[in-house]
Structure 1
Amino acid sequence: MQYDYRIENEERIGTLGRRGIALTHEVMYRHYRRDEAFVREQMTEDVTWIGPLRAQYTTGVDNVMDILKIEEQVTFSMEGETFQVAYEDETSCLIFGNYTVTSDKETGLFIRTLQRVSFYYRLFGDRLKIVHMHLSHPYEYVEPDEVFPFRYGKEAFDYIQQTHQMAFTDSLTELGNRNAYEMSCVRMAHDVDSVRSLCLILFDING
């Protein structure tokens, strides 16, 4: 079976553990694509949540969803997912793992970090539901009203944009410089098979 994630102790886990890992992957993927209706549906009413900062914890699905609204306008891509089953029995399982998240370019932010998670699930009828979850990451720049360092990410994005502008734009004319020309040539060479027609005009205006 093909996964979008890696299971470290796959040979030692049972059916419930596999379901827990699959649901953890799905919950976090949907969360970062901002399908919060799906995420909410997977939680118990008295779910507990612990965030990356010491003071970030709450109980109750409504309170958790209020916290998740902090980042509802920012989408992320996930990669390198790895999960393990720490515990499972006939009615519950504890899943933990990590992955890398990167803010999508359209957000106007640059945030890339290792996210660590643990989820505790219990069976309710035939459904696994989240009873407790803990999310953390190594950033030290998170403000009290943030889940991710959004202000720091905005500053990093702006810096990258400014640096790119300086590297590829002539400061006097604000036109593309030699770096921009060479990059354009590389792009055209890469796409040449899909280009039906092309015209290139060069002017050398030295002197």
Structure 2
Amino acid sequence: MTDLSHWDYTWTFSGREVCALILGLEPSDAWNDAGGNSSRLVPVLRRLQEDYERARISNLRCIIETTPEKRHAYLTDMWCIESEGMRIRGRVFDRQPEDPGRTFLTWLQSEEARFETQLFNRRFILPWLERGQLSSCYSFADPGGRPLPDVDLDPADLPLELQAANIAFRAVFNGYGDPESTFKNRLTAYLEANFVGLGTEAVKRIATVSNPDKEPGRKKVAKE
């Protein structure tokens, strides 16, 4: 049995990580075809991607056709799984349905919403598995035995800049961006790509407060 306990430390996973962990495989080894596992991974990846695309289409339809309450009902059926980015932007839309604009509608139709770029949170993965009665070798429950946060208590409940700091930190911590760049520069790149309405000064503030490296001076690997 592969030891996957180091994955207990993260809340978000890429689609490929989710699929490998469901099969009880170390993601980096599994997707390098160590042990010939690629044929086992393909149907799991296909299911996850199809159910993510269902959520994407449901969101698009609901923005145009219905209310936030009905949208939520669509997205809690067994066939849908939202990504972290989708859920956050959906909550913003729920509060500002009169102007989905680039905060949600445009995002759903953009390259940024591609399955390959998404992160999936434990609190979305576990209900998706349970609703579909899908087995998983790795438990996506809270490893500390605590109940997972209610799906309505997510980062979108935070003030916008705090929400952005929270999401950007976790994305970079989980590998987003150029590995040769500094943590702060990767934060800045993520914020500029995913929170386009913040403005330059807000991005600078958030990147500064979210950066765990507070040592002054130029970093050796920085690409300025």
TM-score (norm 2): 0.26
* Structure with higher strand content: 1
* Structure with higher helix content: 2
Structure whose CA Rg is larger: 1
TM-score (norm 1): 0.27
